[in-house]
Amino acid sequence: MGSPRFWSWAALVAGVLYFFLPLAGMFEFSLRARRGEYSLQAYANVLGDPQFRDTFLYSVVAALFTIVLGVLIVAPTAFWVRLKLPRLRPVIEFITLLPLVIPPIVIVFGYIRLYNTSSWLPLTGTAAGTNLLLVFGYATLALPYMYRAVDTGLRSIDIATLTEAAQGMGAGWFTIITRLILPNILSSLLSGAFLTFAIVIGEYVFAALLNRPAFGPYMVWMGGNKAYEPAALAVIAFGITWVCMGVIQLAARLGRHNRVQR
Amino acid sequence: MTDATLAEPVAPAPVAPAPVAAESPAPRPRRTAALALKWLGVAPFMIFALLFLILPTIHIVLGAFQTPEGAFTLRNLAGLAVPQVVRPFMLSIRLSLLTAGLGCLIGLILAAAVTRGGLPGWIRDAMLTFSGVASNFAGVPLAFAFIATLGRLGLVTVVLKEVFGINLAATGFNLISFAGLTLTYLYFQIPLMILIITPALDGLKREWREAAEILGASGAQYWRMVALPVLWPSLLGTFALLFANSFGAVATAMALTGSSLSIVPIILFAQIRGDVLQDPHLGYAIAFGMIVITGIANLVYIVLRSRAEKWVR
């Protein structure tokens, strides 16, 4: 038994080295902005840059709109299909997986050609229209993750019985969805929401090709023009990803906790 | 993705009895109205998917078979057979095969080490949590992290030079190259493999190992003759998924290499921005080619996934 365990440790050490070094490198690099000493200068430069604040805020707002849109589209559909149209489920599932099959760059290419100024729905003609298109695009990218999260949440509760009980007490569909289903799948919704946030905040291709002032294109611009600030941005982005994933785990744990009590 | 095949036969069971009992006394005209209402419930989703997922894709696919005037043609696809398009496709396919292959192999080794290698349990949890983060830490920031580590002034480059006296550039290594891109892509490929393959490894039953040992098999024999054949569909399926994952990635390569390494998504990006190939419809054909390749990879994944679930429950 001794030798397999040795190889396990060896593999683990190599893995930790590979995954840890780039993180250490990016952190160390981000501290080098002042010659001869470690400082937080690069972070100060980044945080003090109005462009950073504008693009970051833009992406945060885009992410929030995407989450709201995603929940509005996915949650009622997943609920309805489970309750009334179970035969349609494979079709819906297939559609939600398509954004993993079709490369994002192809989807946005389609947007640009389909919704240009000379088309029937000239979304790219105005800034507001393009913003809207970007949010719809992000909701499409997030579709697989959002749908799977919500569907997993729905699986763990008995929707048919709950719905019938609510109807028996005179609740309408709006009440059923907002006061019965949504609170019950809250932890799943949260994990879908934070995954969406993590995806949207650093997204590059959609924002760049639709010409929107988002955080992703700003980071690329920084990469081409500054030395140490990109590393600081990478540390910030890594922190955001880490927080999002942490919240998801927390939400999952809370969800499990609720279920045990029930 | 797991539920696509798993949950379908399970779903009707809890749902079916209740509505039947509730609705059967209702008069007939009401039933058709109820049916229409049923379909109305999925209308918002369907319209959304149609407008922002399906129609844009169909538009690209049709465009690949059309002349600028709108007539049917195969000229665009034939136009793909020029070196400036074929070379990027070959490069992308090589990159995706290599990162998927290495990602699968290294991910499997790491996952096997933490699930079966007798390591403390907390390491397994830590590795899964970290994998969740790392598989989502792709794109622009990942490229910056590698530049800060292995770039000209990166941490590892500097330490190797000043402490060990090794000049990384002189050994022929360059981050802005095929090898550098491969090394960077593995940072999200390996964790994705770990996340997918760990449940499959957990599904290997203890009895199988015990049975193999009782029959006199060595550890290597158990892996070669029992575990790997059972895992094979999962491994191949995940390989296909990783392949598609890296084939469609743009941002990482773009931030790492600028546009000096011509992989397909970068060519398409440049084509959409500024028609660098000087033939708008060639862009459609390239996009169509990408859909075909990632489509095949995902089809392989879905088929093998359902086969893998037979064993791993």
What letter represents residue B43's amino acid? A
As to burial, measured by CB atoms within 10 angstroms (0-12 exposed, 13-18 middle, 19+ buried), residue B206 is: exposed
In angstroms, the separation between the Cα of residue B248 and the nearest Cα of chain A is: 5
Of residues A230, A146, A233, A157, the one with CA closest to residue A190: A146
Containing A160, the helix (H) or strand (E) segment is helix A159-168
Cβ distance B132 to A101 less than 8 Å, yes or no, reads no
The pLDDT, as a whole number, for residue B6 is 36
Cβ distance A93 to B4 less than 8 Å, yes or no, reads yes
Helical packing angle, A41-48 and A229-261, nearest 10°? 80
Of residues B228, B185, B200, B205, the one with CA closest to residue B91: B185
The pLDDT, as a whole number, for residue A22 is 93
Mean pLDDT across B233-255: 89
Neighbouring-strand partners of residue B72: B66
Count of C-beta atoms within a 10 Å radius of residue B59: 18
CATH of residue A244's domain is 1.10.3720.10
Residues of A in contact with B19 (CB under 8 A): 84, 160
C-alpha to C-alpha distance for B139 and A98, rounded to whole angstroms: 20
Whole-number Cα distances in Å, B138 to A173, A212, A241, B110:
40, 20, 10, 20
Q: What are phi and psi of B74, to 5 degrees?
A: -110, 5
The pLDDT, as a whole number, for residue A257 is 58
The pLDDT, as a whole number, for residue A256 is 64
The pLDDT, as a whole number, for residue B213 is 86
The pLDDT, as a whole number, for residue B145 is 93
- Rg of chain B in Å (alpha carbons): 25
Q: Is the pLDDT of residue B12 over 50?
A: no
Structure tokens at A94: 């297939």
Structure tokens at A103: 């490369």
Is residue B308 within 8 Å of B237, Cβ to Cβ?
yes
Q: Report the residue of chain A nearest B6, measured CA to CA.
A: A90
C-alpha to C-alpha distance for A51 and A55, rounded to whole angstroms: 6
pLDDT tens figures, B178-226: 999 999 999 999 999 999 899 888 888 888 888 888 888 887 888 888 8
Residue tagged 């709201």 (tokens): A68
- Which residues form the domain of A249? 26-31+40-261
DSSP one-letter code for B79? T
The pLDDT, as a whole number, for residue A73 is 93
The pLDDT, as a whole number, for residue B9 is 39
- Residue A8 domain-assigned (yes or no): no
Whole-number Cα distances in Å, A50 to A45, A212, A225:
10, 16, 16
**Residue in A109, A201, A243 to test binding to B, most B beta-carbons within 10 Å:** A109
**Residue in A38, A43, A105, A196 to test binding to B, most B beta-carbons within 10 Å:** A105
Q: What are phi and psi of A185, to 5 degrees?
A: -110, 20
For chain A, the first-to-last Cα distance in angstroms comes to 43
Exposure on the CB side of residue A84, measured as CA atoms within 13 A: 18
Cβ distance B56 to A111 less than 8 Å, yes or no, reads yes
The pLDDT, as a whole number, for residue B312 is 54
The pLDDT, as a whole number, for residue B120 is 84
- Residue A85 domain-assigned (yes or no): yes
The pLDDT, as a whole number, for residue A68 is 95
pLDDT tens figures, B68-120: 787 888 888 888 888 888 999 999 999 999 999 999 999 999 998 988 877 88
Q: Which fold has domain B83-308?
A: MetI-like fold (1.10.3720)
C-alpha to C-alpha distance for A129 and A111, rounded to whole angstroms: 12
Residues of A in contact with B39 (CB under 8 A): 85
Q: Is the pLDDT of residue B4 over 60?
A: no
- Residue A20 domain-assigned (yes or no): no
Exposure on the CB side of residue B117, measured as CA atoms within 13 A: 21
Structure tokens at B220: 């290597």
In angstroms, the separation between the Cα of residue A68 and the nearest Cα of chain B is: 14
How far is C-alpha B274 from the chain's CA centre? 28
Mean pLDDT across B155-159: 87
Q: What is the DSSP string of B218-283?
A: -HHHHIIIIIHHHHHHHHHHHHHHHHHHHHS--HHHHHHHTTSS--HHHHHHHHHHH-TTS-HHHH
C-alpha to C-alpha distance for B256 and A195, rounded to whole angstroms: 24
pLDDT tens figures, B125-145: 889 888 988 888 888 999 999
The pLDDT, as a whole number, for residue A258 is 57
C-alpha to C-alpha distance for B291 and B36, rounded to whole angstroms: 35
C-alpha to C-alpha distance for B94 and B12, rounded to whole angstroms: 44
Is residue B2 within 8 Å of B307, Cβ to Cβ?
no
pLDDT tens figures, B271-310: 888 877 777 788 899 999 999 999 898 888 878 877 776 6
In angstroms, the separation between the Cα of residue B154 and the nearest Cα of chain A is: 7
The pLDDT, as a whole number, for residue B222 is 86
- Rg of chain A in Å (alpha carbons): 22
Cβ distance A204 to B140 less than 8 Å, yes or no, reads yes
C-alpha to C-alpha distance for A19 and B111, rounded to whole angstroms: 14
Residues of A in contact with B294 (CB under 8 A): 101-103
Structure tokens at A99: 């954004």
**Helices in chain B by DSSP H: which ranges?**
3-6, 12-15, 17-23, 28-40, 43-49, 55-64, 75-78, 83-116, 121-136, 140-150, 155-162, 178-202, 206-214, 219-222, 228-247, 251-257, 264-274, 280-308
The pLDDT, as a whole number, for residue B27 is 53
Is residue B54 within 8 Å of A143, Cβ to Cβ?
no
Rounded to two decimals, what is the model's pTM? 0.85
C-alpha to C-alpha distance for B266 and B249, rounded to whole angstroms: 9
Q: Which residue has the higher pLDDT, B169 or A245?
A: A245
Complex prediction ipTM: 0.87
The pLDDT, as a whole number, for residue B17 is 41
As to burial, measured by CB atoms within 10 angstroms (0-12 exposed, 13-18 middle, 19+ buried), residue B190 is: buried
Is residue A27 within 8 Å of A235, Cβ to Cβ?
yes
What letter represents residue B17's amino acid? P
Q: Number of structural domains, chain A?
A: 1
Q: Report the residue of chain A nearest B240, measured CA to CA.
A: A101
pLDDT tens figures, B41-75: 889 999 999 999 999 999 999 989 988 787 888 88
What letter represents residue A33's amino acid? A
- Residue A3 domain-assigned (yes or no): no
Contacts of A240 (CB under 8 A, 6+ apart): A197, A198, A201, A202
Q: Split chain A (262 residues) into runs of 10 and give each run's mean pLDDT.
A: 76 93 92 87 91 95 96 91 88 90 92 86 86 95 92 86 88 85 86 91 92 93 89 92 87 65 44
